[in-house]
Amino acid sequence: MSAHAAEPAPVVPPMPERNPKALRAAIAQYAPQLLPDFDEHWKRAIADTFDIGPLPAFMARWWAEYAIARDPELDAHMADLHHRAADSTDVVEAKALLEEASKIRHQVRQTEPGQ
C-alpha cells in the first residue's frame, strides 16, 4: 500500500509595505479579484476628492481585505462564517458567527509588513 503525500499548505505571501502603492501591487499580484473594488474605492475616496483625510480608513480596510484574501484557508474560513451567518435562522448563532468574523478582521489589521 502506498502512502499519499499530503498536499502542501499554500504559501501565504508576506504583507507589503504599508502604503497604497505597495498594497495595490500586492493585491494585483496575489489577490487580483480585489483589484476592481480597490481601484474604485481609491478613485471615489481619494483620487477624485484630492483629500487624503480618508487615507487611514482606506488603508485599514484594504490592509485587512488583502491580509484575508492572500491566505486561501483564512479566506475560505471567513466566507464560511459569512455564509453560515446568512443562512442561520438563529439570531444568536448568526451574531456569534459575525462576531468571530469581525474579530478576525480586527486581528489581521495588526499584521505588519513582511509577516
Tens digit of pLDDT for each residue in 62-72?
999 999 999 99
Average pLDDT rounded to a whole number, residues 23-42: 98
Q: Is the pLDDT reported for residue 2 higher than 80?
A: no
Q: For residue 70, give the nearest of 6, 15, 2, 24 by alpha carbon.
A: 15
Report residue 1's pLDDT band, with 50, 70 and 90 as the boundaries: very low
Total H helices, total E strands in the chain: 5, 0
Q: Is the pLDDT reported for residue 39 higher than 80?
A: yes
